[in-house]
């Protein structure tokens, strides 16, 4: 006996990826519904070898459905997630709306799967920010060994994290630079993204940090350990898919880079590719379509007593969003709902 699953926002980048991953991982689905806004009503999306027609989210009755994977913005989620939850359907939400609610678990299955039982509080589970998800997968096994005091991270985030319009903007701007008279002015981003980097993701806060940077701090504390100090600089780069992060870690206890490498090789969800030679590391283009969080460039930081540096790369549409949501659904099924 399988599950009745709803994918909300099925025509977007993350929603389509959720459908792909549910099929790839052979999630035990008895029935599936693809929902979208009224303007996308009837649009066809793929689920394995099947084609689904999208249904109207506004009119949908979640009664009798087991799990709803939400991949829509916070405003719409605020309306429809409580509706689904109140009708007995467990919501796994990809927006930022519920991540910081103390009553709602924020889950990365490789890190804090045990917290999933707290879904009963509101029948909702939050999926973390894409940049946080890949980082904590790498941090947790090291934290278990040597206890992390402080993390300094600089991100290199792809445009797909913003959405389809941003992908189009990068593509059109790149082409336009080579064709006089066809230059494309920035609309999605405040400055040109083609052949450029922009140290600005989400809105600015009074502290001077952006909300994306604040998210990484708050979410790491909630998922891994509230005592960890985190400071982040989040940068948008002209890459279509795949987020990269340069991470500096300070531990309470000494951890040799060789031992850290072995720990990460054994860690769930992590793939170490780290040869100290040209090309002996992973770049964003190589992680596209993959499940793993890749770690490279593991080395001692000689400027502090107990420090390590590493490079972390992952497909942000997968581990950063859709894959993590499906993994949450798998853990929910195995540990709580127990139907599949």
* 160 assigned ligand-binding residue: yes
What are the percentages of helix, strand and coil residues in the chain, rounded to 5?
A: 35, 25, 40
Identified catalytic residue from 89, 234, 243, 312 = 243
**Token digits of residue 332:** 């929910």
* 121 assigned ligand-binding residue: no
Alpha helices in the chain (DSSP H): 13-24, 74-86, 109-112, 130-146, 164-177, 211-223, 257-266, 284-287, 323-332
* 12 assigned ligand-binding residue: yes
Collapsed DSSP state (helix, strand, coil) of residue 318: helix
Task: Please check whether residue 33 is in contact with residue 95, taking contact to mean a CB–CB distance below 8 angstroms.
Answer: no
Identified catalytic residue from 130, 234, 287, 312 = 130
**Closest among 201, 277, 208 to 245, alpha carbons compared:** 201
Whether 200 sits among the annotated catalytic residues: the reply is no
Whether 336 sits among the annotated catalytic residues: the reply is no
Cα separations in angstroms, 115 against 72, 222, 224: 24, 11, 11
* 157 assigned ligand-binding residue: yes
* 40 assigned ligand-binding residue: yes
* 13 assigned ligand-binding residue: yes
Residue 65, number of CB atoms within 10 A of its CB? 20
- For 74, phi then psi, to 5°, come to -60, -35
Residue 208, number of CB atoms within 10 A of its CB? 7
Instruction: Point out the annotated binding site for phosphate.
Output: 99
> Binding site membership: which residues?
11-14, 39-40, 99, 157, 160-161, 236, 316
Which residues are annotated binding-site positions for substrate?
157, 236
- For the annotated catalytic residues, the residue numbers are 130, 243
Binding-site residues for NADP(+) sit at 11-14, 39-40, 160-161, 316
């Amino acid at each position: 006996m399988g599950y009745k699953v709803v994918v909300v926002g099925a025509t977007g980048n993350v929603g389509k990826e959720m459908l792909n991953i549910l099929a790839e991982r052979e999630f035990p689905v008895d029935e599936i519904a693809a929902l979208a806004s009224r303007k996308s009503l009837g649009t066809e999306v793929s689920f394995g070898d099947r084609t689904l027609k999208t249904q109207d989210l506004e009119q949908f009755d979640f009664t009798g459905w087991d799990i709803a994977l939400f991949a829509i913005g916070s405003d719409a989620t605020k309306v429809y997630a409580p509706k689904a939850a109140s009708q007995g359907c467990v919501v796994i939400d990809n927006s930022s709306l519920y991540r910081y609610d103390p009553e709602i678990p924020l889950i990365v299955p490789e890190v804090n799967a045990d917290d999933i039982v707290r879904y009963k509080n509101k029948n909702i589970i939050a999926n973390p920010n894409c940049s946080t998800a890949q980082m904590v997968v790498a941090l947790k096994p090291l934290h278990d060994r040597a206890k992390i005091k402080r993390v300094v991270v600089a991100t290199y985030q792809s445009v797909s994290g913003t959405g389809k319009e941003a992908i189009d903007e990068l593509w059109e701007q790149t082409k336009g630079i080579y064709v006089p008279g066809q230059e494309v002015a920035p609309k999605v981003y405040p400055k040109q993204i083609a052949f450029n980097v922009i140290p600005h993701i989400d809105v600015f806060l009074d502290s001077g940090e952006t909300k994306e940077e604040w998210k990484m701090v708050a979410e790491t504390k909630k998922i891994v350990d509230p005592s960890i100090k985190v400071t982040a600089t989040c940068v948008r780069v002209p890459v279509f898919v795949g987020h990269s992060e340069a991470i500096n870690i300070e531990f309470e206890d000494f951890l040799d880079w060789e031992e850290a490498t072995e720990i990460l090789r054994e860690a769930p969800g992590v793939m170490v590719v780290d040869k100290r030679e040209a090309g002996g590391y992973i770049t964003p283009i190589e992680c596209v379509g993959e499940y793993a969080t890749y770690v490279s460039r593991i080395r001692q930081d000689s400027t502090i007593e107990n420090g390590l540096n590493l490079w972390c790369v992952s497909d942000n549409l997968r581990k950063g969003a859709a894959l993590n949501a499906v993994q949450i659904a798998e853990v929910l099924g195995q540990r709580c709902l127990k139907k599949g």
